[in-house]
Structure 1
Amino acid sequence: MSQPKLSVVITVYNEEENIKPLLEQVYDALVEIDYEVILIEDGSTDKTVEEVKKHANTRTKLIIFNRNRGQTTALAAGIDQATGEYIATMDGDLQNDPTDLPMMLNKAIDEEWDVVAGRRANRKDGFVLRKIPSKIANWVIRNTTKVYLKDYGCTLRVYKADIAQNMGLYGELHRFIPVLAKEQGARMTEVDVKHHPRIHGESKYGLSRTFKVMSDLILMLFFQKYFQRPIHLFGGLGIISFLIGMGISFYLLILKLFGEDIWGRPLMILGFIMILGGIQLITTGIIAEIIVRTYFESQDKKTYKIKSIYVGEKVAISSQKTEV
């Protein structure tokens, strides 16, 4: 089989009533594109699998998990199985509109974008429980990571295959896919896409994910700034802590020399804690550096990614000349 132009990766979990209209809409939207559809069934407890098998065409592949693994793992599995030049991701709840995919694909091809992200222009979700928390989260992520997208919660995106397949999706990092893509030097843009209210089933997300998002944000900031040089973070904090502790201890030593009783003072305890904490942080930084080096060297990974190599025509010609 020839390589398809577009692989559409869709995660589904307890979406039995949505499968038939979802597949029909995807097939109709991509009729003029060489495509494949990859559905990842994330441990559903309803008849999602049976519905997919009933309505799938020959260009559709179904991946079935043995239990619920989460959206990030499901997306990673689908992306790994994709063979297209471009990879699109979308939800299986009918809130994303497949008719936006041709427009996004054409924009990626014509304007040479690595990532084209969807932005829900007229979002059909609850204002208090969904829109307000989402706006706050988007503002925080945008201004801390310096990746300026307005809608991090929209799953509808189109990627160049090499970008999507090298992002390293783990845990619950699907919310930060644009940040992971940016770390690879991806050029990305954002376009308005259609959004529909959920008709069947229930949303799998709520306010309970707020703390997970904040925890993942801390991890993303670490990846952005210190993944290849953790000693700069832990070592820097450790040195500051150690110096503060030593300063406190020196101050108390002077007081002791002048005959004051310093035993049991909270300041003395603080000094000891700062010194020991500084030593621990520095040690952590050294261990983290060793782990990072092991990570890269054991797998022969590079700490950089080359976009392209150009050899000038004159250089290439002159290098073929031989002396007589």
Structure 2
Amino acid sequence: MNKPLLSVVITVYNEEENIKPLLEATYGALAAIDYEVILVEDGATDGTVSEVKKYANSRTKLVIFNRNYGQTTALAAGIDMATGEYIATMDGDLQNDPTDLPIMLQKAIDEEWDVVAGRRANRKDGFVLRKIPSKIANWIIRNTTKVYLNDYGCTLRVYKAEIAQGMGLYGELHRFIPVLAKQQGAKMTEVDVKHHPRIHGESKYGLSRTFKVMADLILMLFFQKYFQRPIHLFGGIGLVAFLIGMLINVYLLVLKIFGEDIWGRPIMILGFILVLGGIQFITTGIIAEIIVRTYFESQDKKTYTVKSIFLGNSEILAEEVKNETN
């Protein structure tokens, strides 16, 4: 069976009233493309599944979860099921417009982009509860990760299949997909896309997600800088704390030698805490290093990614090399 050019992954959760117009719009937009649509139903409690079965065509796959796992897991499942050369992701609430997909796909092909991300130029969401928190989050993510996109919250994106399937989506990291793609060396660009107000159903997002974004940002920064060398983070903090603690203790020892009473001083307690904390951080770094090595070696993973290899005057893509060696 030949691979389709484009696999479109759509996550849906309690979107019963949106399914018919969503599928009709998607099929119409992709009529001139060899495509497949993969809908991942994330434990809906309404009639979403029956609506999909009613209106789906022969190019549509429906993945049904036994409970709600969240958008990141749903995206990961859809991407795992995809067989296309390119993979697109899109929300199922009708706010993304599938007519943008052919344009984004063509741009990815013609200009050889690994990721083409959507940028909601005229976003149809509430200003206070959605736009302002989103702008703040985008600014923080952009300036801390150094991945310079303007709209991290737009799900509408087109990826080369090997990039999408190599990202390793866990937890709630869908907000940081561009950062995960960048870690694989992906070349990314943004294009303005249409955005529509929600007509049916309710938004699944609120202000509480701001705290989740901040927590996930800490994880992403760790992945970016220290995933392969955690001892540099934990060991560095531990050594600084240990040395400061030892200096404090030596200072107190000198005072004690000269006859001063040092018992009960807050600085003495601080010295002991820093020494013990430093030892714990260094130990944590060593354990993390062992875990990282186990992670890579137990699964025969590499700590690098080869894009292509030149042999003489010819270039062989990494995927071709992999297929030949297998």
Q: Same fold (TM over 0.5)?
A: yes
Residue deviations 1:201-225, cap 9 Å, x none? 0000010111110000000000000
Structure-2 residue corresponding to 1:183: 183
Aligned length: 314
2:201 matches 1:201: yes
- Offset of residue 311 of structure 1: 1.4
Structure-1 residue corresponding to 2:297: 297
2:23 matches 1:26: no
Distance 1:53 1:300 in 2: 40
Distance 2:169 2:75 in 1: 8
Distance 1:254 1:62 in 2: 73
Structure-2 residue corresponding to 1:150: 150
* Structure 2: 5+ residue stretches without partners: 315-326
Distance 1:196 1:159 in 2: 23
Distance 1:235 1:199 in 2: 52
Structure-2 residue corresponding to 1:38: 38
2:29 matches 1:8: no
Structure-1 residue corresponding to 2:229: 229
Distance 1:250 1:104 in 2: 64
Distance 1:178 1:89 in 2: 12
Distance 2:313 2:129 in 1: 60
Q: What letter matches 2:60 in structure 1?
A: T
Structure-1 residue corresponding to 2:167: 167
Structure-1 residue corresponding to 2:255: 255
Q: What letter matches 1:122 in structure 2?
A: N
Q: What letter matches 2:25 in structure 1?
A: Q
Q: Give runs of aligned pairs for residues 81-100 of structure 1, distance below 5 A.
A: 81-100=81-100
* Structure 1: 5+ residue stretches without partners: 315-324
Distance 1:288 1:251 in 2: 33
Structure-1 residue corresponding to 2:324: none
Distance 1:136 1:226 in 2: 25
- Offset of residue 87 of structure 1: 0.1
Q: What letter matches 1:133 in structure 2?
A: P
Distance 1:30 1:8 in 2: 10
Q: What letter matches 2:152 in structure 1?
A: Y
Structure-2 residue corresponding to 1:272: 272
SS in 2 for 1:206: coil
Q: What letter matches 2:244 in structure 1?
A: I
Q: What letter matches 1:90 in structure 2?
A: M
Distance 1:193 1:255 in 2: 69
Q: What letter matches 2:156 in structure 1?
A: L
Distance 1:55 1:247 in 2: 72
Q: What letter matches 1:82 in structure 2?
A: A
SS in 1 for 2:80: helix
Distance 2:294 2:64 in 1: 34
Residue deviations 1:64-108, cap 9 Å, x none? 000000000000000000000000000000000000000000000
Distance 1:142 1:312 in 2: 40
- Offset of residue 249 of structure 1: 0.4
What TM-score results when the alignment is normalised by the length of structure 1? Answer: 0.96
Distance 2:93 2:105 in 1: 21
- Offset of residue 313 of structure 1: 3.5
Structure-2 residue corresponding to 1:310: 310
Structure-1 residue corresponding to 2:65: 65
SS in 1 for 2:192: strand
SS in 2 for 1:169: coil
Structure-2 residue corresponding to 1:126: 126
Q: What letter matches 2:97 in structure 1?
A: D
Distance 1:127 1:251 in 2: 57
- Offset of residue 176 of structure 1: 0.2
Which aligned runs of 4 or more in structure 1 are off by greater than 4 angstroms?
Answer: none
- Offset of residue 125 of structure 1: 0.1
Structure-2 residue corresponding to 1:321: none
- Identity, % of aligned pairs? 86
